[in-house]
A and B are shown apart, each in its own frame.
Chain A
Amino acid sequence: MKLSLGKWLLPVYSALALLFLMIPIGYTFVYSFNDSHKSNITWQGFTFDKWLNVCNVQNGVVCQAFGNSLFIGAVATVIATTLGTMIAIALVRYRFKFRSQTSLLLFLPMATPEVVLGAGLAAQFLSIGVPKDMLTIILAHTMFCISFVVVTVKARVASLDPALEEAGRDLYGSAVQVFARITFPLLLPGILAAALLSFALSFDDFIITNFNSGAVTTFPKYIYISAARGIPAEANVLASAVFILALVVVVTVQVSGAARARRLAKLS
């Protein structure tokens, strides 16, 4: 009896810990169906209305903030992924001076609290007189995404066999051809993972945004501002929709990755 208890203790504990992580997610999802009017705190009854008319509340302010977040996330992701991928390739493939300083410069933004990054940029924009708007948010988001792109893509470049590119060069492929036909396709999964990560970081960022957004409202900022007087259920709808979409993407990637691993295992 004692033995079986010991055996079940860890699995049961793990299940409970995961359940604990799910509680606020479940709460947010359930309250997206709440037939609430002004604040979404007490349960008023079940309705699909909020899901069907997401943009109708408060003249569409929620949806506009959501749209801003999508736009900022997309632009910051494209810039950060491009710059970060270039750095990652250089770090793994080339020798250059100031290597350790470069690594430190890439590590520091990840070890700096967001409030310091946010206040620093805001102090800079203030001192040179740049007005805070959509552009300053994009500049800020790109900055903190670059380092995360570098670490993600670097792992992929490091696992890439240089012999493949050498074979391409031996077969008279030009530098551009070798990159376009060999290096880039092989790095693509890493680049895509980095892009997804950038987008997720940018989309959910509040602290840095709050310091550099001026009058522009993003989705997290909207929630922060509205927290005091109550958040409409429509915000829960949008957040739940994003959650479901992200879950589908991740599960698909996991399943297809597992399937590919099985195929490769069969081949070899």
Chain B
Amino acid sequence: MAFAVLASTAPSTTSAPSSDPVARRRSPVALFLLLPGILYLVLFFLTPLVSLLLTSFQAPREFGDIGQYDYAFRWQNYVEVVTTYWPHIVRSFSYALAATFFALLISYPLAYFIGVKARRWPLLQSLMLVLVIAPFFISFLLRTLAWKQLFSDESYVVQSLKALSLLAPEAHVTGTAFSVIFGLTYNFIPFMTLPLYTTLERLDVRYLEAGNDLYASPFQVFRKVTIPLSMPGIVAGTLLTFIPAAGDYINASRDFLGGTGTQMMGNVIEANFLVLQNFPAAAALSILLMTVILVIVGIYIKRSGTEELL
């Protein structure tokens, strides 16, 4: 998935040559090239979304079995899921926000070191990048389980924390909001670091020197020069962390780092769809999740002035 992150940050840099009028022409070949892929996305991405929207308004079939629904316009489904699952909705977005914040805090200095300070040593730079994407080469679920076991009550980590009285004797680490946010932060650090790295790697250090020459303190240079110049990376990284984190249900799952009090929207969508067969509720929650995310993404991209990312 590492390359995914690299790839998704690429378009902003490579759009220039395509505006070349010589290179672009109209031709029926274009249609032939586009049609199969676009048709595929219409069939397996767009229509499923429509189907999800229709499902979200379905009503239970009269005298039907569990899991039998008919098309209707039952907008009450939305009211019901919000009143039933509002804690999960709040948790999803607050956990995702917290994880995004911590991931940014941890990733920025790391990306700065790899992208700016390590430029003199290309081998070190590429080695560090390989280490950043290394987690993608091993199952996401196994990595999360590894943390669960490292944080279990019998583990050395928890035992020593308790011995040092840093943790109450009866306290648990797994199953808490802390461990879910921890897991989300850990799992999405590479998604944050890579886009930050791609912008910081292109940062012209002469701007920083100019700031120093103009008697700015290192902090002022960082705040007024480095941060604004790395904004595209910050926006890309925070979105690549926030979106999947808000929809994630592995970390919050009871078998992984979560507990009964930490379930997120993804968990209830999964439970309603695959276990309870309450398809309209699952669909309504999915539509809500997607709408909120699209609104947040839209506002965020507009406010930060990075529309060209699209």
Please report A residues at the B interface, Cβ cutoff 8 Å: 10-11, 13-14, 17-18, 20-25, 27-28, 31, 41-42, 83-84, 86-87, 89-96, 102-117, 119-124, 126-127, 139-140, 142-143, 146-148, 150-152, 154-155, 158-159, 162, 193-194, 196-197, 200-201, 204, 206-207, 210-211, 219-220, 223-224, 227-228, 231, 235-236, 239-240, 242-243, 246-247, 250-251, 254, 258
Contacts and interface: CB of A to CB of B under 8 A. Distances in A.
Given A220-B139, A220-B140, A236-B142, A113 B290 contact: yes
A240 B112 CA distance: 30
B239 A111 contact: yes
Interface in B1-48: 1-4, 7-8, 10-11, 13-18, 20, 22-27, 29-31, 33-34, 36-38, 40-42, 44-48
B280 to A, nearest CB: 10
Contact of A21 (B10, B16, B134, B310): B134
A190 B48 CA distance: 30
7 contacts: A14-B113, A83-B36, A92-B17, A92-B23, A105-B45, A127-B54, A242-B139
Interface centre among B7, B14, B109, B243, by most chain A C-beta atoms within 10 angstroms, is B7
Contacts of A155: 7, 10-11, 13-14
A232 B106 CA distance: 33
B130 A254 contact: yes
B266 to A, nearest CB: 5
A94 B139 contact: no
Given A113-B246, A228-B255, A96 B30 contact: yes
A210 to B, nearest CB: 7
Contacts of A220: 139-141
B22 to A, nearest CB: 7
Given A142-B44, A247-B134, 17 more contacts: A13-B109, A22-B131, A24-B186, A94-B27, A114-B244, A117-B48, A120-B52, A121-B44, A123-B48, A123-B51, A207-B247, A220-B141, A223-B145, A227-B253, A247-B137, A250-B130, A258-B122
Nearest to A120: B48
Given A86-B33, A119-B52, A162 B23 contact: yes
A183 B21 CA distance: 19
B44 A140 contact: yes
B149 interface: yes
Interface of B: 1-4, 7-8, 10-11, 13-18, 20, 22-27, 29-31, 33-34, 36-38, 40-42, 44-49, 51-52, 54-55, 106-107, 109-110, 112-114, 117, 122-123, 126, 128, 130-147, 149-150, 152, 154, 186, 189-190, 239, 243-244, 246-250, 253, 255-256, 265-266, 269-270, 273-274, 279, 282-283, 286-287, 289-290, 293-294, 297, 310
B46 to A, nearest CB: 7
A106 to B, nearest CB: 7
A124 B53 CA distance: 10
B41 A27 contact: no
A180 to B, nearest CB: 15
B51 A197 contact: no
A141 to B, nearest CB: 10
Given A115-B249, A146-B37, A92 B18 contact: yes
B41 A146 contact: yes
Given A87-B33, A92-B23, A94-B33, A201 B4 contact: yes
B132 to A, nearest CB: 7
A236 B48 CA distance: 35
Contacts of A224: 141, 250, 255
B18 A158 contact: yes
Task: Return the 3 tightest CB-CB contacts between A and B, nearest first.
Answer: A113-B247, A120-B48, A94-B30
Contacts of B149: 27, 41
Contacts of B289: 113, 115-116
Nearest to A196: B3
A11 B107 CA distance: 13
B134 A127 contact: no
Given A105-B38, A119-B282, A154-B11, A21 B45 contact: no
Max chain B CB contacts within 10 Å: which of A94, A105, A115, A150? Answer: A115
A14 to B, nearest CB: 4
B109 A14 contact: yes
A62 B16 CA distance: 48
